[in-house]
């Protein structure tokens, strides 16, 4: 049964050139009587984009209140942008991969015929956990953020000293480039590149992966989701450090700052139309034989 709620089309203007795929999807939705909102994602406010006849572009945040879903045209980065915007409303996201690996996207461009299920409401959603992060400086919380993929702490081209704790108990101490605190969704992103495990994305875990640790004993850890992870920068820090959530804004981190990371009360809901399993997707995206 069709809903009377609108469907948001969120194209990355640098991926869907001239919005060719977005136009096709818009026509499919119009065919089924669905109201459409077009919210182009531009990397720079000065970027230009082609006008789309019959559609009036608007801002994503302005359309979320009465939207059934967001259809994203781009790579994982574009989906992460949509997920941040939709975290408070819980609006489901359907990704059409027009990027590189595209682990979070459900459909490839060649599979647009499956979209009839989205137009008619015949789809399922998958819940993905998110992380909250806060930076403590002295006795004060100086910064808060949240992430679908990961919270990353890195030295700015310098080695840093880190101490990692789980619920106040020491997990590991090492010098290195930093650490990735990831969700299962983010396990196939930076965490995997740094040597971390691949975890089923619908699982409920927190993954700690050291980045280029200068000690053999520093290994990845997979924790239960209700664990509170704390990261402290040591006194012997040799250069500046920063924290970022899902590759976004960098927050400068100093000696004796503490970063607390835990399971968020926010969730991302991804629309599932294809029958492709996670294991199949990993094999395809990572170039393994099937």
Yes or no: say if 230 and 208 are a contact pair by the CB < 8 Å rule: no
> Annotated catalytic sites, by residue?
76
Please tell me whether residue 89 adopts helix, strand or coil conformation: coil
Strands 169-176 and 160-166: antiparallel
Tokens of 142: 């100086």
DSSP collapsed to 3 states, 187-231: HHCHHHHCCCCCCCCCCCEEEEEEECCCCCCCCCEEEECCCCEEE
DSSP collapsed to 3 states, 96-138: EECCCCCCCCCEEHHHHHHHHHHHCCCCEEEEEEEEEEEEEEC
Specify burial of residue 128 (Cβ count, 10 A radius: 0-12, 13-18, 19+): buried
Distance CA 256, CA 93 (A): 38
Taking Cα atoms as reference points, which of 207, 70, 218 lies closest to residue 149? 207
Distance CA 260, CA 84 (A): 19
């Amino acid at each position: 049964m069709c809903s009377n709620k609108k469907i948001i089309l969120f194209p990355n203007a640098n991926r869907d050139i001239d919005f060719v795929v977005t136009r096709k999807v818009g026509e499919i939705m119009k065919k089924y009587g669905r109201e459409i909102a077009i919210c182009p994602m531009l990397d720079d406010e000065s970027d230009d984009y082609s006008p789309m006849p019959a559609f009036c572009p608007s801002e994503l945040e302005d359309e979320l209140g009465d939207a059934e879903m967001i259809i994203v045209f781009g790579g994982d980065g574009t989906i992460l942008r949509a997920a941040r915007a939709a975290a408070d409303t819980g609006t489901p996201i359907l990704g059409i991969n027009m990027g590189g690996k595209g682990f979070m996207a459900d459909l490839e461009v060649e599979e647009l015929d499956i979209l009839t299920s989205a137009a008619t409401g015949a789809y399922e959603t998958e819940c993905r956990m998110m992380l909250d992060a806060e930076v403590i400086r002295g006795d004060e919380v100086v910064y808060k953020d949240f992430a679908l993929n990961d919270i990353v702490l890195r030295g700015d081209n310098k080695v840093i000293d880190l101490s990692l704790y789980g619920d106040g108990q020491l997990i590991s101490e090492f010098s290195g480039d930093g650490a990735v605190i990831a969700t299962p969704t983010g396990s196939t992103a930076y965490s995997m590149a740094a040597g971390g495990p691949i975890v089923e994305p619908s699982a409920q875990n927190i993954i700690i992966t050291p980045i280029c640790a200068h000690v053999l004993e520093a290994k990845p850890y997979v924790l239960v989701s209700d664990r509170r992870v704390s990261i402290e920068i040591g006194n012997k820090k040799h250069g500046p450090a920063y924290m970022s959530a899902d590759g976004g804004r960098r927050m400068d981190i100093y000696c004796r700052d503490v970063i607390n990371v835990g399971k968020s009360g926010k969730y991302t809901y991804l629309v599932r139309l294809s029958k492709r399993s996670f294991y199949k997707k990993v094999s395809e995206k990572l170039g393994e034989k099937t």
